[in-house]
Amino acid sequence: LRKKKQDHTKILDRLLQGSQTALGQAITLVESNNPTHHEQASAIIEGAIASAGKSIRIGITGVPGVGKSTFIESFGSHLLKLGKKVAVLAVDPSSSISKGSILGDKTRMENLVREDMAFIRPSPSGDSLGGVARKTRESIMLCEAAGFDVILIETVGVGQSETTVHSMCDFFLLLKLAGAGDELQGIKRGIMEMADAIVINKADGENIKAANTAKLDFKRALHLYPTKESGWMPEVLLSSALYNEGIPEIWNLIRSFERKTLENGYFEENRKQQSKFWLLQSINDQLKQSFYQNPEIKTALEEQLQAIFDKKTSPFIAAKQLLEKYSKL
């Protein structure tokens, strides 16, 4: 026990000094499903939390083919030149099936990978969205405690993952392509409403005209939505990540957002609301887990379900009886 305690104390100390190796080790503990690792992870987080929070957390989404990796490579490199420490995390619950479809192939971000001031971590795999979300939230805190001041959180937008990322970032950026058919590429309706900025990528060469048209279309569409709680009016920008064009403008926009929301109090309030959301979310997840994984409940649930199918009870009465049983265990 003593040895282990020393282990995670050492990891914590080095993490707080900015060691990327220690950060990697701490995240590995957070991602582990081993209970001992979990305790060590909790101890590290408790030690790190006072130093966390001092970053801007930027969520980035867009359909496959929009150029997310190239964008993050270009955007991240720009931030490094400005002296920022950049961490790139991913939320991709589909990686449990495809074994890491995003960020798994780090070679797509080869410049960023080579930099000492950048930290890149693929999505934890083999887990539900809830599990991935918890691990990513904790990884964000660890990155911040290790001194990273810009956290990019990438998502492929499978199922609810965009909403999940939106609920853990300060600024939400939606990458789009110009030209028809994008609506059919699977961008879900609610996503546009969550965006603080839409960036039309690949705005280069023959695409420029179409990109400018798309910019006007999206601007018009954004004006149909009600004003955001942040008081921020989402903007539409063009970029060519491949040629590093439009990138500084995006960072300047995010800085404006940060200034504005720090000033009007939304930045802090939003983080508080997010923390509260994750607290309740974790409680609800764990309440369900304790109930459904209880062996006696498992058997009783099957029996009640059969009784419902046999028209001997109703779902609501069955639920009530199961909870009475559970409270007596």
- Restricting to residues 181-200, name those near a copy of itself by CB under 8 A: 188-189
Out of 6, 33, 46, 179, name the contact with a copy of itself by CB under 8 A.
46
- Contacts of residue 173, defined as CB under 8 A and 6 or more positions apart, other chains included, come to 58, 59, 60, 61, 195, 196, 197, 198, 199, 250, 254
The neighbour count for residue 74, using CB atoms within 10 Å, is 25
Out of 127, 260, 305, 325, name the contact with a copy of itself by CB under 8 A.
305
Residues touching a copy of itself: how many (CB under 8 A)? 45
Q: Which is nearer to a copy of itself, 256 or 306 (CB)?
A: 306
Q: Which segment (69-77, 146-154, 157-165, 298-306) binds a copy of itself by CB under 8 A?
A: 298-306
Does 317 sit near a copy of itself (CB under 8 A)? Answer: yes
Does 113 sit near a copy of itself (CB under 8 A)? Answer: no
Residue 96's nearest CA partner among 139, 59, 132 is: 132
Minimum separation from the CB atom of position 172 to a copy of itself (A): 19
Minimum separation from the CB atom of position 299 to a copy of itself (A): 15
Question: Beta strands of the chain (E only): which ranges?
Answer: 56-61, 86-91, 118-120, 150-155, 171-177, 197-201, 235-238
Does 276 sit near a copy of itself (CB under 8 A)? Answer: yes
Q: Which segment (114-122, 123-131, 250-258, 318-326) binds a copy of itself by CB under 8 A?
A: 318-326
Residue 62's nearest CA partner among 148, 135, 154 is: 154
Does 284 sit near a copy of itself (CB under 8 A)? Answer: yes
The neighbour count for residue 17, using CB atoms within 10 Å, is 10
Tokens found for residue 329: 């265990």
Tokens found for residue 111: 């410049």
| Greatest CA separation for the chain | 70
* Contacts with a copy of itself, residue ranges (CB under 8 A): 42, 45-46, 49-50, 52-53, 134, 137-138, 141, 188-189, 272, 275-276, 278-279, 281-284, 286-288, 290-291, 301, 304-305, 308-309, 311-320, 322-323, 327
